[in-house]
Chain A
């Protein structure tokens, strides 16, 4: 039986970049939706403080990895939508490679089945 614990602060911070890029690779999204998706996909194990996501998004935008645009949603409420830029797509590939390398190494050490990169 596994004891599932919340991720440490450092790991949450380190994983925020590939998580945001991966979510935006599926299509444009906004802050609240990104947080909801992470919460849902991680089964609640990755808990982001809502206000802390925006500095991450803004840093990625400054790095040219994502783009933002204020748009009106279907609900009539306007929101700042983020989308992946071509540079962001490349950065995501690199991130994926690195994280899977770590995952595969740990999987071998812990005798789990590796995931192909």
Chain B
């Protein structure tokens, strides 16, 4: 008997403590934790929850009962997210390709920048004909940097080391205008550096007249155009997040 009355007290305490707004906020957070669900999906599911709750309230259930039953009818957020993912296989692959392509793009531009900076640094030595074996060894070692930097990056990322730093970059990826600016800004920076390198380095060792149109087409124009195309593909691959609409609480 004592156990039974304690149970009743517990139920009453639960009923009086139930806060619908807090419960909805928790549910929203659970939905928001599923990367497969866009804000638009979340909003739609929330409207659905409100409709189911309204139906259950009409049937005589109280606020708490209708909330929990509506949640149960909609399903677990993880399961819903899985279904959304299954329904959009193309989108899943597109996102994967985007990240791979972003990595290739960043590798390419960083390679151009690092090589150009090394070239610019080494060119005065070459001009002075002060480029012996030690300088050549240093130059070769430095030329490994474009390979080593992404390699270290991938290893660190795989070990979960760079996640907080990368999370700070997410706003740039999510905002289309900032992403386009950053992409073409990187292309501009890398090929401006390359142009300076080509002018300084080659003119210093061969003289200004040795660089004809073909040289500039093959060493500058075509790589620049290819980088612009890579950037354009990257922007195209970036999925447009659904319009971020403010989620409203069900009436």
**Which A residues form the contact surface with B (CB < 8 A)?**
30-32, 49-52, 54-56, 58-59, 62, 70, 76-80
Contacts and interface: CB of A to CB of B under 8 A. Distances in A.
B88 A32 contact: no
Given A31-B47, A55-B86, A78-B248, 14 more contacts: A31-B44, A31-B48, A51-B75, A54-B41, A54-B80, A55-B83, A58-B84, A58-B87, A59-B87, A62-B88, A77-B47, A78-B47, A79-B47, A80-B43
A52 B48 CA distance: 12
A32 B80 contact: no
Contacts of A32: 47-48, 51-52
Given A49-B75, A50-B74, A51-B80, A77 B50 contact: yes
Interface residues of B, number: 25
Contacts of B44: 31, 54, 80
A50 B48 contact: yes
A70 B245 CA distance: 11
B51 A51 contact: no
**Candidate in A50, A51, A79 with the most chain B CB atoms within 10 angstroms:** A51
Which of A50, A59, A76, A77: most chain B CB closer than 10 A? Answer: A50
Nearest to A31: B48
Contact of B80 (A31, A52, A59, A78): A52
A80 B38 CA distance: 14
A66 to B, nearest CB: 13
Interface string B90-102: 1000000000000
B75 A52 contact: yes
B79 interface: yes
Contacts of A77: 47, 50-51, 250-251
Interface in B44-72: 44-45, 47-48, 50-52
B147 to A, nearest CB: 40
B87 A51 contact: no
